[in-house]
Amino acid sequence: MQTLKHYSIFALLLFFFNCNVSPKPIDYGNDGCHFCKMTIVDKVHAAEIVTQKGKVYKFDATECMIHFMDEFDTSEIALYLSNDYAKPKTLTDATKATFLISKNIPSPMGAFLSAFEDKSKAQQTQTEKGGELYTWNELLVHFKD
């Protein structure tokens, strides 16, 4: 009976740690983009998806994450994350971010797409660099066209 108790506790712990739904740090210069296979080096344009089971997919650009969604069951996705352009290496909730497409801010895959956690920072950068602002849903429509 004692052995069964130990196996049950071990199984519960294993289940808990395997289903941890949280962002994972991107190892810049070593991690590869799950969509285009390029090495992730840009610390202001990377992105990440975390599934409901805790599996993490990393991307070198938000546009790669969006294109990946075309071939993936999005009902399994728990977190959509993009690097905050104003805070390099910091992932922010992409569904709540403000996005700027500006020809004056190159991004790894050529979409000129940058994410901002703070809308006022996006507007300030738009004033300096030009371009158009998008919400997450507007951005998804933009890339479908």
Residue 17 DSSP SS3: helix
Q: What is the pLDDT of residue 144?
A: 87
> Does the pLDDT of residue 131 top 70, yes or no?
yes
pTM of the entire predicted model: 0.85
Q: Which burial class, exposed, middle or buried, applies to 139 when counting CB atoms under 10 A from its CB (0-12, 13-18, 19+)?
A: buried
User: Which DSSP string do the residues of 60-97 spell out, in sequence order?
Assistant: SSHHHHHHHHTTS-GGGEEEEEEEETTEEEEEEEGGG-
Q: Is the pLDDT of residue 12 over 90?
A: no
For 105-124, what is the mean pLDDT?
96
pLDDT at 22 over 90: yes
Lowest mean pLDDT among 6-10, 46-50, 127-131: 6-10
Average pLDDT over residues 79-83: 98
Res 56: pLDDT = 96
Please give the mean pLDDT across all residues of the chain. Answer: 91
User: What is the spatial distance between Cα 143 and Cα 38, in angstroms, rounded to a whole number?
Assistant: 20
Determine the pLDDT at residue 17: 53
Rounded distance, CA 62 to CA 18, Å?
Answer: 26
Average pLDDT (80-107) is 97
pLDDT at position 7 is 61
pLDDT at 15 over 90: no
The pLDDT, as a whole number, for residue 6 is: 63
CA gap 16, 22 in Å, rounded: 12
107 has a pLDDT exceeding 80: yes
Please enumerate, as own/partner, the contacts of 121-129 that have beta carbons within 8 Å and a separation of 24 or more: 121/85, 121/86, 122/98, 123/98, 125/85, 125/86, 125/100, 126/100, 126/102, 129/100, 129/102, 129/104, 129/105
